[in-house]
Chains A and B, each alone.
Chain A
Amino acid sequence: MKTTRRTLLQGAAFAGILIAAPRFSFATARSTTLRCVMHADLASLDPIATTASITAYHGALIYDTLFGHDADSITRPQMVSDYTVSDDGLTYVFILRKGLKFHDGQPVTARDAVASIKRWGARDGAGQHLFKRVADVSAKDDSSFSIVLNEPYPLILDWLGKSSPSICFIMREADASTDPGKPITEAVGSGPYMFNRAETRTGSQYVYDRNPEYVAVAEPASGFAGGKVAKFERIILQNMPDEQTAVSALQAGEIDFIEKISPELLSQLEGDSSVKLEVLNKTGAMGWLRMNTLQPPFNNVKARQAMLYLIDQAAVMQATFGDPKHYKGCASLFACGTTMESDANTGWFKGGQNIEKAAALFKEAGYDGTPVVIMQQTTLPVLSNASLLLAQWLRQAGVNVELVPLDWAGIVARRSNKGKASEGGWNIFMTYASGSAYNNPIALAGHAATGEKGWFGWPEDAKHEQLRDAWAAAPDLASRQKIAHEMQENAWNFVPHVYLGQWFDTAAMRSDVNGMIGLPDLVPFWNVSRG
């Protein structure tokens, strides 16, 4: 065949069509689909069996809750149309909204709500605290149920509507009857989106389709409350472990949203008009350091107090986040920018890092030179860097340090060992939680000081526990703030843990994505639209 200029042009035109064709179809799908890269892979589908945030996001898409906190932290009815409280504050009767249906077409009944509350109550820290005061939870008929208490518990509605894991999602009775310790693998709720298992690829992408039967509350979306209107036909949560790839994909318009961007990649997006950056979680996250209080040297309160003077939060934060606009130091037991934030007993923080004082306190504690084992988390830069800095400061204070680098799975396995560090135990590990999680001394397991029954590190303090109970029983916010102040005054004396600083992750999204609701513990995808 003879090659002419015409055939070459035809060939070039054909090639152009081939390259462009998928773009047209992609553009059509793009207008109705929101593609999101989240901070982690969805390892479990059960938002009660795990406290992992990513599973709470999954839960918020497919399940609904009885109540929800609005943007002003006021608890508002969600699946409940009406409720009454007896004069003695012991009996709550709830009536479900009409027309609520699960994704399999079955109506949501009071029996589903009762089973779900019981399962949540067996698992969640706040739920367990509440259930110590619950005499009975039972369905009265298909649409109403009651909770009867042994003693008044003013936070009951707050707990049912909280948005921090574990959230009291309403599941089908059959699912909610599963042992709370055994993760369910079903994903059928009554929420604004339905889990599309057929198109989900475990470890790669999780697909959610709009629930056409969902009846949103006739109010504007506000925080975790209000109308959960699904404006996209489909939400896809993608697991993209490489952040640079995710940033490039966002710039190329292949994805619409990245939940968290590392500070070093922000500059790549800052001048790009097709992308916008936003801090959705205004209370940020706080890194914390847990010490094994059952073993020397941290079984001595003086050694724990030494840690307060040893850590320079600004230096820890700067090592990872660079620009101070992304972080701040915070000495409040309840995180900064929260309703319980307090300034009580923070002289150690205001005075700045004092290694000499720390060294003196270690001496008073009778530290004998035995190596202190720090489990260095290698998968999260902020915690890995913090471990290196801490090791250096401990050495300067005369402490012999052994750094043990471990991935997260290695740390969570080893941290359950209560024994000596030389026998497979540990002395220090670090992790983090959202700022708002610290604001709740009941729900966050690490706020308990119940000794060996409690969370890793096992601090014990009777006064702290009394104050926690008093906090939960307090009738209003002002009373709780007063007790929180007292709790902090006491806590920085017995030192259950030490903070590393508070940081604020930046989310990135295409500039045409609007209506993203900023919640402290959750990224909800209702109310979000394009254009």
Chain B
Amino acid sequence: MIIYILRRLGATLIVMGLVGLMVFVLLHLAPGDPAAVIAGDNATPEQIAQLRQMLGLDDPLPVQFLRWMGDVVQGDLGVSIYSNEPVAQLIMQRMEATVSLAIATLAFAVPIAIAFGVIAAHRAGTTVDRILMLFSVMGFSLPAFVLGYMLSWLFAIEWKLLPVQGFTPISEGIWPWARNLILPSVTLGMTYTALIARITRTSMLEVLSEDFIRTARAKGVAVPRILVKHALRNAGVPIATVIGIGIALLIGGVVVTETVFNIPGVGRLVVDAIARRDYPVIQGVILVFSGIYVFVNLATDLSYTLIDPRIRY
């Protein structure tokens, strides 16, 4: 197991290096000039050229790449071309909002989705199943910006129960932190609820048709016990996989929800950076994202051994 983990971690470094190279090349191939954006619309070409030179953007691309990679190897993601703040600091400032939103979304989505999936599988083909799956189709179909605006209008403007937008750090209190997360996590959670519920149902249906379930039923084991202890555990691997993908996607930034609810998360950071070609920020965020993706995938793979003792690495 330890060798497996070390091997995977080694592969992570290679993946991150390749991601770094690809991102750097693609970014610099795309049209855009941060010096021209910083200088403003009224700046003359001469002023822009002067600024470009000051920022080191005139250097050959291989020189710029090696300079950046050299810093990254030493743990330095560079500084923003615009604010001159360290990229690592900018990411850390935004990470709390993103991680908070991810946790709140999963806390909302996972229990509901698994319960829906289990019940739908148990009552497969009945009206209950159809209603639950209709709900999950709706969750997929409703875009986050439509649902987000609707919830915001109802709960924030009409009923004045929750705030429209913003994020409060947890250091300012649990309730202020949670209040700002309720609407975005429900908005975002609808898609994940739908996704996890459907996977759970499919996986459960497969397990419920197994011989050992029939045996358990024949022995007179109570239905809830069969569903949770026997079936759900054996259906767990695909469910863990989809939850893992969900975590990676959530940490990777959910730009629309962050924008609709004005949450200063990592997704917004990278979109803003792309709009103004803040290369060090874009490169740094994507590098961190790729690391998180690989780490979450590894954690998901390892979780299989807990769900299914037959799996060994």
Contact = CB atoms under 8 A, between A and B. Distances in A.
Interface of A: 18-19, 21-22, 41, 43-45, 49-52, 55, 123, 125, 165, 179, 181-183, 185, 201-205, 238-242, 244-246, 248-249, 251-252, 254, 379, 406-410, 412-416, 431, 433, 437, 444-446, 453-456
B42 A408 contact: no
Given A43-B276, A203-B90, A51 B43 contact: yes
Contacts of B160: 252
Contacts, number: 159
13 contacts: A19-B161, A22-B176, A201-B264, A203-B90, A204-B268, A240-B165, A245-B165, A254-B166, A409-B33, A410-B31, A412-B32, A445-B42, A455-B45
B38 A203 contact: no
B259 to A, nearest CB: 5
B36 interface: yes
Contacts of A413: 31-33, 36, 277
A401 B85 CA distance: 43
Given A245-B259, A252-B163, A453-B46, A181 B40 contact: no
Contact of B37 (A22, A125, A249, A408): A408
Interface centre among B83, B173, B260 (most CB of A within 10 A): B83
Interface in B132-175: 149, 152-153, 156-157, 160-161, 163-166, 173, 175
Contacts of B93: 201-202
Nearest to B167: A204
B54 A248 contact: no
A52 B45 contact: no
Interface residues of B, number: 56
Contact of B264 (A45, A182, A203, A445): A203
Nearest to B265: A204
Given A45-B83, A409-B37, A412-B48, 8 more contacts: A19-B179, A50-B43, A52-B41, A245-B152, A248-B149, A408-B275, A412-B33, A445-B44
A204 B263 CA distance: 9
B127 to A, nearest CB: 32
A455 B30 CA distance: 24
A521 to B, nearest CB: 11
B307 to A, nearest CB: 35
Q: What are the 6 closest A-B residue pairs judged by CB atoms, nearest first?
A: A51-B40, A412-B36, A413-B33, A204-B264, A181-B50, A51-B42
Contact of B42 (A45, A240, A433): A433
Contact of A248 (B36, B84, B157, B176): B157
B39 A51 contact: yes
A179 B54 contact: yes
B272 interface: yes
A251 B158 CA distance: 10
A181 B47 contact: yes
B253 interface: no
Nearest to B53: A181
A125 B46 CA distance: 12
A406 B31 contact: yes
B33 A431 contact: no
B41 A51 contact: yes
Interface centre among B37, B43, B48 (most CB of A within 10 A): B43
B249 to A, nearest CB: 21
Interface of B: 30-34, 36-48, 50-51, 53-54, 80, 82-85, 90, 93-94, 149, 152-153, 156-157, 160-161, 163-166, 173, 175-176, 179, 259-262, 264, 268-269, 272, 275-277
B157 to A, nearest CB: 6
A398 B50 CA distance: 41
A293 to B, nearest CB: 14
Given A201-B93, A249-B164, A254-B163, A183 B38 contact: yes
Contacts of B30: 410
A18 B260 contact: no
A251 B157 contact: yes
Contacts of B175: 18, 21-22
A416 B41 CA distance: 12
Nearest to A252: B164
A252 B36 contact: no
Contacts of B45: 416, 455-456
A242 B263 CA distance: 11
B149 A50 contact: no
B153 to A, nearest CB: 7
Contacts of A249: 164-166, 262
B37 A43 contact: yes
B66 to A, nearest CB: 23
Contact of B83 (A185, A241, A444): A185
Contacts of A251: 157
Contacts of B164: 245, 248-249, 252, 254
A413 B52 CA distance: 11
Contacts of A22: 173, 175-176, 179
Nearest to A250: B164
A416 B264 CA distance: 33
Contacts of B157: 248, 251-252
A204 B165 CA distance: 12
A120 to B, nearest CB: 13
B43 A242 contact: no
